[in-house]
Amino acid sequence: MESKTVYRLSAILIGLMLIASGVAVGTDTVNDAPKSNASLSSENYWAVIAGYGDDMMAYRGAESMYNVLTRASDKWNASNIQFFVNETATKANIRDAIQRMANKASAEDTCLFYFTGHGNTIRDYSDDEADGFDESLTVFDDYIIDDELEEWIGMIKAQKVIAILDACHSGGILTPFQTCEVEKRLYTLDDVATEIEGTNCVVLAGCRMNEEGEYAYDLKNGLFTYYVVQGLWGAADNDDDGRISVRELCDYSFPKIEGYQEETQHPILWPDDNTTNNFTIITLKTPIAKTIMLPEEYLTIQKAVEAAMPGDVIEVSPGTYTENVIVNKPLTISAPYGNTIIHAANTACSCILVTVDSATISGLTCQKGSQGIELMKSCNNIIANNIASKNNAGIYFESSDNNRIYLNNFITNTVNANSLSSSNIWNSSSEIAYGYNGSTYTKYLGNYWDDYEGSDVDGDGIGDTPYSLISDKDNYPLILHTSKYSGEQIYESPSPTQTQEQKTWHYVSTFTGTKGRTTEPFAIKGDVWRVKWLVKISSTFSFFYVHVFSERQARDVVAEWSWSEENSHRDTKYIHEGNGSYYFSVSAMDIDEWELEVEDYY
């Protein structure tokens, strides 16, 4: 966790040094995010993103906010975002960053302050709190008291300022809300937060000031941040105009947060008035669907989900992927070649958890999870051609309606299907042509259930009686495993196209050194290639920085990465631009040895 943070900030500083020396450097600093384009309008977008707490929790929240701003929109330029996590999230760093944002932002700009981490209530020594307590944000070296944050945010003169706070008791920060400790109720004071009222600041707080914010382990994020980010990816665009207002974001995310666990957490919007209808927080890019290949481009399905844009297709090759996948964008995850297994890394969580509408999951074998496939507050999805086996529940729905589930196999689960407050459709949307037992039929098809006890008198492979579920029925249950059926829409055998291609990794070249240099060019045939890189370090003050250039466009950086920790490191960088000649430009200081091994995929 700490290494990721230091790496990010060090990479930025080193990049600036290289720019000053005449070397072209890209702007990506987080998780291979696509480069963000600066807005062509006079309005600029500025942000300070900070997180402190349990290492990975703070990192996930801050990174997910950074990623959605810089990837889902062209307006939020990465160069205008200041990022601090854990040991860099000091009180002075955050204060100075807000000051820099205030100095740079003009009246027509939009400014955002986001914080994820611990919040607290501490005794009020300034006697300006009616309840006797100040609310605070816990940072690496101190507390930021609500009065201090109000003063800092109050320096911003932009017309649109928004604070998003995911912390316990955050409803009392930057808002006029106070807690009456005796009656445990909320009330407002007109003379509180006057600095904020003068800045046109809108506040989204994760919970009321007398509540604690929840970290949702199954979502791998703070509950509040998770659904706010999911909304910003496009799910909150209620009128489909490509712009998400603060009001739309709250209308989408707040009910999901409150309904997550018996309404123990209530987010707050302040001021809760009509001004939020016209406050656009993000303008979405026009989606251009692409296909992401695994494992050629990413080693895990989750990394591909995080890198994908809404509408993308993630095509997963055969193999075993030990992970728990969370889907928060309308994507297609498809494994059409068979024998693609998701083995739950955490058996207490689902193999696949879908929390967004309009996703498609097909061709996967999900096993050893609490649920094989789980849909939570998720509608209008397609779940087809999967196998759920050896799970507590093969498939589970919670407050999820109008999903279509067909041609799946539910085998050796404790319970094959379970649902809560959900109603779904358990067969294909139209009749499917299929072969069974030497004959051809065209009928609706449901799913195979290993505990189905019905008969098949006419021999068409479909049970004569429905398979009963808690609130629904599979009216066309399959008598046998889908492998006993054939048809274009039934996954089982590898695709002929896949068999013909038979792509594999081919060694190209290895480059080594102890100092910076430019390597000899090398040729790439395929569309994807990778660099297995190693850096050996024994010095405290060292850095290693790699730029990849194409000989066709020598001034443009194809890819870049760096390492500036005190320890040695080995990793793999995947590059998604091929079929040409490339070379490396390596910058190195106090490095014992570095190595770049190139492999081509064709």
Q: What is the CATH number of the domain that holds 243?
A: 3.40.50.1460
- Domain assignment present for residue 464? The answer is yes
Same domain membership, residue 426 and residue 361: yes
pLDDT (0 to 100) of residue 378: 97
Helix (H) or strand (E) holding 257: helix 246-258
- Domain assignment present for residue 14? The answer is no
- At position 455, the amino acid (one-letter code) is S
pLDDT (0 to 100) of residue 10: 44
Secondary structure of residue 472 in the 3-state scheme: coil
Same domain membership, residue 514 and residue 477: no
Count Cβ atoms below 10 Å from residue 409 Cβ, excluding itself.
21
pTM of full prediction above 0.85:
no
CB 320 within 8 A of CB 341: yes
Same domain membership, residue 565 and residue 547: yes
| DSSP for residue 317 | -
What span, in angstroms and rounded, lies between the C-alpha atoms of 210 and 180?
9
Same domain membership, residue 229 and residue 128: yes
- At position 230, the amino acid (one-letter code) is Q
What span, in angstroms and rounded, lies between the C-alpha atoms of 600 and 602?
6
Boundary residue ending a domain (478, 496, 514) = 496
What span, in angstroms and rounded, lies between the C-alpha atoms of 80 and 38?
9
Same domain membership, residue 322 and residue 253: no
Phi, psi of 8, deg, nearest 5: -65, -50
pLDDT (0 to 100) of residue 365: 96
pLDDT (0 to 100) of residue 177: 63
CB 481 within 8 A of CB 434: no
- Domain assignment present for residue 6? The answer is no
Looking at the 3D structure of the chain, how many domains does it have? Answer: 3
Boundary residue ending a domain (263, 283, 303) = 283
Tokens of 439: 């004959």
Same domain membership, residue 450 and residue 327: yes
Count Cβ atoms below 10 Å from residue 569 Cβ, excluding itself.
15
Q: Which domain holds residue 589?
A: 503-601
- Domain assignment present for residue 119? The answer is yes
- Going by their DSSP bridges, the two strands 201-205 and 268-270 should be labelled as antiparallel
Same domain membership, residue 410 and residue 296: yes
Count Cβ atoms below 10 Å from residue 493 Cβ, excluding itself.
13
Using only C-alpha atoms, what is the Rg of the chain? 26
CATH code of the domain covering residue 575: 2.60.120.380
pLDDT (0 to 100) of residue 197: 46
pLDDT (0 to 100) of residue 125: 58
CB 119 within 8 A of CB 138: yes
What span, in angstroms and rounded, lies between the C-alpha atoms of 359 and 329?
7
Boundary residue ending a domain (463, 496, 529) = 496
CA atoms within 13 A on the CB side of 257: 31
Split the chain (602 residues) into runs of 10 and give each run's mean pLDDT. Answer: 41 39 34 37 89 80 94 93 93 97 95 94 62 82 92 92 94 71 38 47 92 90 96 96 96 94 87 86 91 90 93 94 95 91 93 97 96 97 96 96 97 96 96 95 97 95 95 95 90 45 80 92 87 83 85 74 77 80 89 91 84
Same domain membership, residue 445 and residue 419: yes
Same domain membership, residue 401 and residue 302: yes
